[in-house]
Structure 1
Amino acid sequence: MGNIFSTSLSLDTIITRCWDCAAGQASYLCNLEDNLHALQAEVAKLKELRGDLMSRVRIAEDEQQHKRLNQVEGWLQRADHVIADADQLSRESPQQVEKLCIGSCCSRHPRSTHKFGKQIARILQEVKHLKENGDFSDVACKPPLPSATKRPSEPTVGLESYVNQVWSSLQKEQVGVIGIYGLGGVGKTTLLNQINNKFHDTTHDYRVIWAVASQDRPIERVQDQIAKRIGLSNEGWKSIEEKDDDIFKVLWKKKFALLLDDIWEWFDLTRAGVPLPTQGNGSKVIFTTRRLDVCCQMQPNMDNNIKVECLPPGEAFELFEEKVGSETLRMHPDICKLAEAVVDECGGLPLALITIGRAMASKKTPPEWEYAIEVLRQSAASVLPGVGKEMYPKLKFSYDCLPDERFRSCFLYCSLYPEDYLIEKDELVHCWIREGLLDEHTNLSNARNQGHFIIGSLIDACLLEKRQNSVSVKMHDVIRDMALWIAGESEKEKFFVKSGVQLKEQPKAKKWEEVTRMSLMDNQIENLTEILECPNLQTLFLRRNRLKVIMDDFFNFMPMLRVLDLSRNMNLEELPVGIAKLVSLEHLNLSRTGIKKLPVELKALARLKYLNLEWTADLEMIPQQLISSFSKLQVLKLEGCGYGCLLVLEEMEHLKYLNVLTLSFRRASELEKALRFNKFFSCAIEQVSLLDFRDSRSLNIMALAKLQHLCTLRLWSCMDLEEVKIERNIIEGAGCFHSLRYVIVDECNHLRDVSWVTFAPHLEELWIAECNGLKEIISEEKLGEVAELKGNLNLFSKLEILILNRLPKLKTIYHHALPFPHLKKVYIIGCPMLKKLPLNSNSAKGHRHIIEGEEGWWKDVEWEDESTKIAFLPTFKPHIL
């Protein structure tokens, strides 16, 4: 069988190839030393080239934040390998050279030397090649921008639910702008950091941009941060308009999430070049602010504005323990309990918990902690090292950003009230007016409106807290401390505040002459028997003490005093005649005192404009012509006063500036006579109480409907009253109680319903208690008598709070379900027969109700359908006695 493949080579070809092979091998030996010297020289040059290139790369990376080119990185890696190999060969070369002989063309170990020479030749060629290709015009370029950059963030306590809430809102297509607001130091920036980092750790298609606004040139600063984040150079920009045009050209093509921290006023996204988020572009803007009004301006849908609240006690202690250290808390068995008191003084504010926690970390003994608690109850700044310096300036920024000095003075005034005190808004405004803190107004109504506007602004700035009821506000303990700290630093305002600190005697002070406002509220002082020389004092709060005696000369040296509050001193039965020395007094509050008679010397108070005698049940005598002598009086409060209102009606005719009047009537005949007496009163009366009615089983509601500004109505202990009539002629005045906001019905045992509240379309609070015979709130039968109105009712459309307490026969609130668009809280206690509420699934839509009651009652509630039950079950809060 023949060969499948055959190869024929000539003898010349074979000889030639053998010679070339032998010659090549010989050249590796003969050129070994030359190649070795050449390699060492070329490697030295390659090292220099590599060094120069690395210098350029480091400058680009470190200074310009660029990323090295892949081809540069590849060249450097290859150069490192080749240099390492060349260095190794150089170390081996002496041994190989020694083996050479016969003029360096032969070797005693030819195979080994040949292999070595071949390696030298190969590495030399690689070195030369690298040198030839190591000239790079560019060594690095801008790196591709990451979708989000990680931000430093400490472990958080109590923010997880807010993170989830914001993140959940971001997933909704219809939500484009989300506002996060709350008190300074409550954790808004930390929350935004968490949202940023959640973007970083999550797969998404957003370009995430973090920017911090500022008080100074906020738009330009935000534009610069956006430009840097999206890779725009700001060189050549001269104006906001140039920036916004360039930014817009980039962002309108992208799906972005702008995280905008700490804005203080409406931020014009469009002017900054940020396209407005829409469902079409899918972009998002999440911002933080201390001001609710900014939230509303940026994003009017309140469902997308999220308030960050202070921490509840458990989480507050957890954060405090993290900062103070568990070792400190274990140093003594008493310290942990004392730490709870310290935490309580922080009011759940993270900034306070963190700052004071760090300050207390070195305190290892109970006396140190006891002392800290004592001073925290007055002011943390004065004793704990660094607290005032670190914490209060951060909070003070909110104060500094108030519109003007008037707002700031009104804010500081609130610190005169004790910790956790519910400050009645209307009372506060009247004090501001009498102190001259508001603008000069042509009438009291305008001044009150301005005062309530300022309160709203302070609430929006999170410097005051809105309470469940709409009539009062509260100041957070830490914010109050900050206000007292500011007042202490002030040259103009000198406060002396010892409210709620259990004083039993008059306090001492070094410089009474400097004090402008003094508050000794909520103490246990019984006697004021030492003269205070306070020539500049304008405000004196003595409310809620145990006062029995005020010496006649006590007020002798207070010529500038404008506001005096002696209210809630039930043991105070008489006023000193020396009160006549208060010639500048404009505001006198004697409500809920035990005063039995007013001294005739009060006639000297010619500038008096506000007199409050409410609930002075023991007041038996007011001297004739005393009330009429207060010719400038604008506010007279007599509700619950023991001295009959009819006895001073004639004198009221002389009060031509009277703007606010509150009254009580104990008989229907008194009410009718008073309302016939002078039409002028219908414009001034704001509050009326019907107390202890004994002469009538029915009341004609039309007698009260004529009061144009009636805001609050109380029916209290009207034991014979069975019916409040709704007469047909009320139809003509449908909605006639248009100013009525608050109704309280208490201890009216024969009353069967309160259907008349149907005609108070703006009713906000309804409180009914201890009415043993009440069976229904709104009677369908009674409404049927005025059928013309029944179909047009907008029942309880403004109601916010409904309180039903101890109504044993109550079966029905209303026979049909109602939407309750503004309802916030329902409180039902002691109503065992009330099985069904006027609610359906529509009543819950878009609202945040709280229904508080007994758990046993709640289990027996009958729901209209399963969807209603599911909607309202989460709203229940068990009542705790």
Structure 2
Amino acid sequence: MGNIFSISLSLDPIITRCWDCATGQASYICNLEDNLHAFQAEVAGLKELRSDLMSRVRIAEDEQQLKRLNQVEGWLSRAETLINDADQLIVQSPQHVENLCMGGCCSTHPRSSIKFGKKIAKKLLEVKDQKENGDFSDVASKQPLPSATERPSEPTVGLESNFNKVWSCIQKEQVGISGIYGLGGVGKTSLLNQINNKFHDTTHDYHVIWAVASQDRPIERVQDQIAKRIGLSNEGWKYIEEKAEDIFQVLCKKKFALLLDDIWEWFDLTRAGVPIPTQENGSKVIFTTRRLDVCCQMQPNRDNNIRVECLPPGEAFKLFEEKVGSETLRMHPDICKLAEAVVEECAGLPLALITIGRAMASKKTPREWEYAIEVLRQSAASVLPGVGKEMYPKLKFSYNCLPDERFRSCFLYCSLYPEDYLIKKDRLVDCWIGEGLLDEHTNLSNARNQGHFIIGSLIDACLLEKGQYNDRVKMHDVIRDMALWIAGESEKEKFFVKSGVQLKEQPKAKKWAEVTRMSLMENQIENLTEILECPNLQTLFLGSNDLKEVIWGEMEEVPDVAVDGYRRGWFGRLNFCDLALS
């Protein structure tokens, strides 16, 4: 007998699922138009919400200098993607609506309509969900301050050794304050820029702050820059002390490096709210100044103050070539040699090399270069583009910052000597005394002490340089040219200086009557026989000439003139030797 198996299967669940599936698929077609209208309305609402949120973000970023929150950035990014996808579906929708029939319950292309209907329904839910998550009480917050902010800078020439000295000084734990000093235009700010960008490019635990001082209200100006850098924006400050207290409360909790550019006098860190750097707090202050005395007031240890020197000849020519352009130097075989003479007249000062290099970039003939050399040697460089309007005014700040007119007159007096002339300090002071440039003193010793004090101050201001021997000083060539430019602009002083320019005959001038100080030193003049009418002349330098005859003209009285010479001769009735002061 064989076994009999019976199988019983219920068809009701299968039929039910099939029916549900069929009706569910059909619902995508039946609800397509309603879903499309709702979809378009929700997308429009999402666009409005995104626009409003973006306006809030822009105000926070542009006006309040805040950084948008990551969750806000993420929401905006997702909304942007959703809106783009939605716009594409809306563009495609008219074709699918046209396929509907029987009052929107069927479609001539049912499979395509069902597929599109599914997309609309899904995106509708996504857009609603995105709108619900778009309610932000805050859209931005204060951004964390970077340890250092990179500063724009140009490639530099010849500052590598100075940079290494300063950076090495910063690395020393026992050194909290370092000074960078030197002549105006020598590259101090460029060097400080390099220090700032070194901090930016390396890993360290300093909070680096860049601030520029000024001659007018330096503490307040520096405070404003520090406050902005450390995130303080309290507009309720009325006094320096209030601002200093808030700055101190922040900085005393940080290890900071304050890079302070261009100070002209002792800067009171404490009054500004800057904690004094110590080995314990590890903070640093690095500053630039044109004055050695300011360096010593800020940091008495001279080993921690670095002087930026002018460039040696090779590096000076390299910098000049960068600014004038190698194409110009190759325009004629003689130009390169003439360029060397121009560079020599700049005496290694980067500001002069850059300014005059740019001025000569368009000069393509030897004659133009020969003229430039002539005006540089005649201390008339102000005729070159950019020199009188750009270079000299920058250098003149050092002159303007001298204590008073007495110091300024003594400084200008030094320009009467030839280029690179080693001036004996004692002789210079005697001239100042004879000219009445110093204060009235009870005795000669006190007057000479004041003279030497002024010389020291001019050295500290980098307006005079120490000579090879301790008893002598000299003027940098460009500073001397600047001094003569100042004297030429003056209404009180009228200088006529032709010293060291190889004159063989008595020079010519249009307005002798206005000349107050004249120098014809270090020439080859043998005779001064033409009668000169110089009623305002106070000083006459004739040293190191081949004078054989000097006639000033017929006069009843000897003029009140200081005469400096090294050969015997006759000046009217005045017999002069090494130094004769009337």
Residue pair 2:555, 2:572 contacting (<8 A) in 1 also: no
Q: Partner letter of residue 306 of structure 1?
A: I
TM-score norm. by structure 2 comes to 0.95
Structure 2 residue 268 is the aligned partner of structure 1 residue 273: no
| Alpha-carbon distance in 2 for matches of 1:16, 1:246 | 76
Give the structure 1 partner of residue 5 of structure 2.
none
| Alpha-carbon distance in 2 for matches of 1:577, 1:557 | 9
Residue pair 1:500, 1:521 contacting (<8 A) in 2 also: yes
Q: Partner letter of residue 590 of structure 1?
A: D
Q: Partner letter of residue 332 of structure 1?
A: H
**Unaligned 5+ residue runs, structure 1?**
1-8, 581-587, 592-604, 609-881
Structure 2 residue 371 is the aligned partner of structure 1 residue 371: yes
| Alpha-carbon distance in 1 for matches of 2:514, 2:191 | 44
Shift of 1:18: 4.8
| Alpha-carbon distance in 2 for matches of 1:310, 1:11 | 102
Give the structure 1 partner of residue 390 of structure 2.
390
Q: Partner letter of residue 186 of structure 2?
A: V
| Alpha-carbon distance in 2 for matches of 1:70, 1:263 | 42
Aligned residues: 574
Q: Partner letter of residue 55 of structure 1?
A: S
| Alpha-carbon distance in 2 for matches of 1:365, 1:555 | 49
| Alpha-carbon distance in 1 for matches of 2:286, 2:214 | 16
Equivalent residue runs for 1:331-342 within 5 Å: 331-342=331-342
Give the structure 2 partner of residue 692 of structure 1.
none
| Alpha-carbon distance in 2 for matches of 1:351, 1:73 | 47
Q: Partner letter of residue 374 of structure 2?
A: E
Equivalent residue runs for 1:59-74 within 5 Å: 59-74=59-74
Equivalent residue runs for 1:641-660 within 5 Å: none
Equivalent residue runs for 1:136-155 within 5 Å: 136-155=136-155
Structure 2 residue 581 is the aligned partner of structure 1 residue 590: no
Identity of aligned residues (%): 82
Give the structure 2 partner of residue 133 of structure 1.
133
| Alpha-carbon distance in 1 for matches of 2:197, 2:322 | 22
| Alpha-carbon distance in 1 for matches of 2:461, 2:378 | 24
Equivalent residue runs for 1:306-317 within 5 Å: 306-317=306-317
Equivalent residue runs for 1:121-270 within 5 Å: 121-270=121-270
Structure 1 residues 666-703: Cα deviation after superposition (integer angstroms, max 9, x where no partner): xxxxxxxxxxxxxxxxxxxxxxxxxxxxxxxxxxxxxx
Structure 2 residue 554 is the aligned partner of structure 1 residue 566: no
| Alpha-carbon distance in 2 for matches of 1:485, 1:433 | 24
| Alpha-carbon distance in 1 for matches of 2:557, 2:531 | 10
Give the structure 1 partner of residue 285 of structure 2.
285
Structure 1 residues 555 and 248 mapped into 2: Cα distance closer, same or farther (>3 Å)?
Answer: farther
| Alpha-carbon distance in 1 for matches of 2:257, 2:195 | 11
| Alpha-carbon distance in 2 for matches of 1:95, 1:563 | 106
Q: Partner letter of residue 167 of structure 2?
A: W
Shift of 1:557: 7.9
Shift of 1:559: 4.3
Shift of 1:469: 1.6
Give the structure 2 partner of residue 414 of structure 1.
414
Structure 1 residues 293-350: Cα deviation after superposition (integer angstroms, max 9, x where no partner): 0000000111110000001111111111111111111110000000000011111101
Residue pair 1:66, 1:141 contacting (<8 A) in 2 also: yes
Structure 1 residues 752-795: Cα deviation after superposition (integer angstroms, max 9, x where no partner): xxxxxxxxxxxxxxxxxxxxxxxxxxxxxxxxxxxxxxxxxxxx
Give the structure 2 partner of residue 525 of structure 1.
525
Residue pair 1:434, 1:562 contacting (<8 A) in 2 also: no
Structure 1 residues 416 and 45 mapped into 2: Cα distance closer, same or farther (>3 Å)?
Answer: same
Residue pair 2:212, 2:261 contacting (<8 A) in 1 also: yes
| Alpha-carbon distance in 2 for matches of 1:66, 1:190 | 31
Give the structure 2 partner of residue 514 of structure 1.
514
Q: Partner letter of residue 462 of structure 2?
A: C
Structure 1 residues 145 and 557 mapped into 2: Cα distance closer, same or farther (>3 Å)?
Answer: farther
Give the structure 1 partner of residue 80 of structure 2.
80
Q: Secondary structure at the match of 2:148?
A: coil
Structure 1 residues 21-41: Cα deviation after superposition (integer angstroms, max 9, x where no partner): 443322211101111122112
Give the structure 2 partner of residue 815 of structure 1.
none
Shift of 1:15: 6.1
| Alpha-carbon distance in 1 for matches of 2:190, 2:30 | 74
Give the structure 1 partner of residue 425 of structure 2.
425
| Alpha-carbon distance in 2 for matches of 1:557, 1:90 | 110
Structure 2 residue 443 is the aligned partner of structure 1 residue 448: no
Residue pair 2:359, 2:385 contacting (<8 A) in 1 also: yes
Shift of 1:562: 3.5
Equivalent residue runs for 1:718-757 within 5 Å: none
Q: Partner letter of residue 70 of structure 2?
A: N
Residue pair 2:512, 2:534 contacting (<8 A) in 1 also: yes
Q: Secondary structure at the match of 2:348?
A: coil
Structure 2 residue 28 is the aligned partner of structure 1 residue 40: no
TM-score norm. by structure 1 comes to 0.63
| Alpha-carbon distance in 2 for matches of 1:158, 1:558 | 57
Q: Partner letter of residue 254 of structure 2?
A: K
Give the structure 1 partner of residue 574 of structure 2.
579
**Unaligned 5+ residue runs, structure 2?**
1-8
Shift of 1:99: 3.1
Q: Secondary structure at the match of 1:103?
A: helix
Residue pair 2:421, 2:475 contacting (<8 A) in 1 also: yes
Give the structure 1 partner of residue 6 of structure 2.
none
Structure 1 residues 489 and 162 mapped into 2: Cα distance closer, same or farther (>3 Å)?
Answer: same
Q: Partner letter of residue 169 of structure 2?
A: S
Q: Secondary structure at the match of 2:246?
A: helix
| Alpha-carbon distance in 1 for matches of 2:19, 2:448 | 117
Structure 1 residues 42 and 397 mapped into 2: Cα distance closer, same or farther (>3 Å)?
Answer: same
Residue pair 1:532, 1:555 contacting (<8 A) in 2 also: no
Give the structure 1 partner of residue 3 of structure 2.
none
Shift of 1:373: 0.4
Q: Partner letter of residue 563 of structure 1?
A: A
Give the structure 2 partner of residue 464 of structure 1.
464
Residue pair 1:192, 1:261 contacting (<8 A) in 2 also: yes
Give the structure 1 partner of residue 484 of structure 2.
484
Structure 1 residues 11 and 244 mapped into 2: Cα distance closer, same or farther (>3 Å)?
Answer: farther
Residue pair 2:257, 2:285 contacting (<8 A) in 1 also: yes
Give the structure 1 partner of residue 360 of structure 2.
360
Structure 1 residues 390-442: Cα deviation after superposition (integer angstroms, max 9, x where no partner): 11000001000000000000000000000010111111000001100000001
Q: Secondary structure at the match of 2:573?
A: helix
| Alpha-carbon distance in 1 for matches of 2:329, 2:530 | 45
Q: Once superposed, what is the RMSD of the aligned Cα atoms?
A: 1.9
Residue pair 1:555, 1:579 contacting (<8 A) in 2 also: no
Shift of 1:505: 1.0
Structure 1 residues 692-749: Cα deviation after superposition (integer angstroms, max 9, x where no partner): xxxxxxxxxxxxxxxxxxxxxxxxxxxxxxxxxxxxxxxxxxxxxxxxxxxxxxxxxx
Structure 1 residues 203 and 557 mapped into 2: Cα distance closer, same or farther (>3 Å)?
Answer: farther
Give the structure 2 partner of residue 863 of structure 1.
none
Structure 1 residues 500 and 174 mapped into 2: Cα distance closer, same or farther (>3 Å)?
Answer: same
Structure 1 residues 142 and 113 mapped into 2: Cα distance closer, same or farther (>3 Å)?
Answer: same
| Alpha-carbon distance in 2 for matches of 1:557, 1:474 | 38
| Alpha-carbon distance in 2 for matches of 1:29, 1:69 | 42
Structure 1 residues 357 and 129 mapped into 2: Cα distance closer, same or farther (>3 Å)?
Answer: same
Shift of 1:17: 5.0
Give the structure 2 partner of residue 541 of structure 1.
541
Residue pair 2:66, 2:143 contacting (<8 A) in 1 also: yes
| Alpha-carbon distance in 2 for matches of 1:107, 1:575 | 125
Give the structure 2 partner of residue 300 of structure 1.
300
Structure 2 residue 319 is the aligned partner of structure 1 residue 319: yes
Give the structure 2 partner of residue 499 of structure 1.
499
Q: Partner letter of residue 474 of structure 1?
A: K
| Alpha-carbon distance in 2 for matches of 1:284, 1:78 | 46
Q: Partner letter of residue 241 of structure 2?
A: E
Q: Secondary structure at the match of 1:125?
A: helix
| Alpha-carbon distance in 2 for matches of 1:481, 1:218 | 30
Q: Secondary structure at the match of 2:43?
A: helix
| Alpha-carbon distance in 2 for matches of 1:168, 1:537 | 53
Q: Partner letter of residue 485 of structure 1?
A: W
Q: Partner letter of residue 111 of structure 2?
A: R
Structure 1 residues 161 and 42 mapped into 2: Cα distance closer, same or farther (>3 Å)?
Answer: same
Shift of 1:105: 2.1
Structure 1 residues 218-237: Cα deviation after superposition (integer angstroms, max 9, x where no partner): 00100000000000013100
